Every structure is written in structure tokens, then in C-alpha cells.
Amino acid sequence: MAGVGAVDAQPAVSGRVLGVDPGTRVVGYAILDVPNPGRFDYVECGVLAVPARDELSARLLELATSLREIIEEFRPAGLAIERAFHGINAASALKLAEARGALKLVALEHGLAVSEYAPAMIKRAVVGRGRATKVEVQARVRLLCRLGTTPKADAADALAIAICHVQASRLPNIERDRRADLRRQLARRRRRGSR
């Protein structure tokens, strides 16, 4: 799968990209056209929502069906999805993994290339730092996509994921930079702890 980790430079993206912010009740999606490597045009973004009271399996089926309809309507060449992160409890992580699996399966059934990006990498590619807030991400994607209004948080996250995918070939050192930032933070904590 292309895009997993993005430690090395990736091939330039072109065509149409579908960005997905996975969830078990709300899934953000975004469509970008990529006329030239590193450049993109906004097409659409939104959220797919299902009632929280429904069983998980029913919600996943409905979300997968909705994503299938989006893929069939917009015909993207690839799907970019947020990689699972470790900051949530085990039960939530398992449910999110099921949602990611269902959404990735739909994409693969349609022949889409699937790329995954860590949350910090997405924020760094869009805002410039891996610890950006949701509000900062929303403001930045609104600016980058030249939107009249700020998209909902899940739609903004999907836009950020798609933008990260478009920019990934231009950002080969992003993971190395993230590790360097973590080392600096750890060194600061150690210095504070030794006082």
C-alpha cells in the first residue's frame, strides 16, 4: 500500500483523491482533483452520519454503503485515510479498526489505491506542526481550499487527509522531522525532571 508511513518520497499524485476521516458514527469525506503533482482543486466535502443507537455492524454497513455511493459518483483514483492512533482506549480502538477495515474494503473493491497517514503527519502537512488543534486544521483547510465557510470538523479532517496525500510526494522527510521533534520534546522533559 502506498502512503503507509511516508518515510521515503512517494510518487506524485494525480487524478482525483478521496480523503476519509474514519469513524463508527460519523465519517468525514473529501474529494480533491489533482491536475498537477502537488496542486489540487477542491470538489466536495461532507460527513456521512448514522444513528448512534444502531448496532455497530448496522452502522458500518450503512457507512460502507454511503462510501460506495460516493466512490461510484466521483470515481476517485485513490483513497487516503487516517491511520489509527494510540491515544484511545482499547475498545474504541477496536471499533475504529473495524470501521477503517470496512471503508478500506469498499475502496479496494473499487480498485482504488489506499494510502494511510498518521494524524501528526496530516497536521504537519496541512498546518505545519503535528500537534495542531482541530480549529487550526479547520481554518487551514478553509484557506487552502478557498472555502466560503468553515467545514464541519470531520469534513475538515478528511480534507486535511486528502491534502496530506497530495503533498506527500513533496514531503519525504516529514516522518524524520516528526521523530526529531519527539526527541527534542523528550530531552526538554528530561531537563525539567532533573531540576
Query: Which residues are annotated binding-site positions?
Result: 21, 82, 154
| Alpha carbon distance 5, 23 (integer Å) | 21
Query: Which of 69, 82, 175, 177 is an active site residue?
Result: 82
Return binding residues for Mg(2+): 21, 82, 154
> Does 157 qualify as catalytic in the annotation?
no
Query: Which of 54, 73, 98, 154 is an active site residue?
Result: 154
Q: What does 97-111 look like in DSSP terms, one character per residue?
A: HHHHHHHHHHHHHTT
Q: Radius of gyration over alpha carbons of the chain, in Å?
A: 17
Cell, residue 6: 511516508
| Half-sphere CA count of 1, side-chain side, radius 13 A | 19
Query: Which of 21, 44, 175, 181 is an active site residue?
Result: 21
- Tell me which residue of 165, 73, 178, 188 sits closest to 117, measured CA to CA: 165
User: In this structure, what is the dihedral angle of CA atoms 145, 151, 157, 161, given to the nearest 10 degrees?
Assistant: -20
Rounded to 5°, angle at Cα 29 from 32 and 72: 75
> Does 154 qualify as catalytic in the annotation?
yes
* Catalytically active residues, by annotation: 21, 82, 154
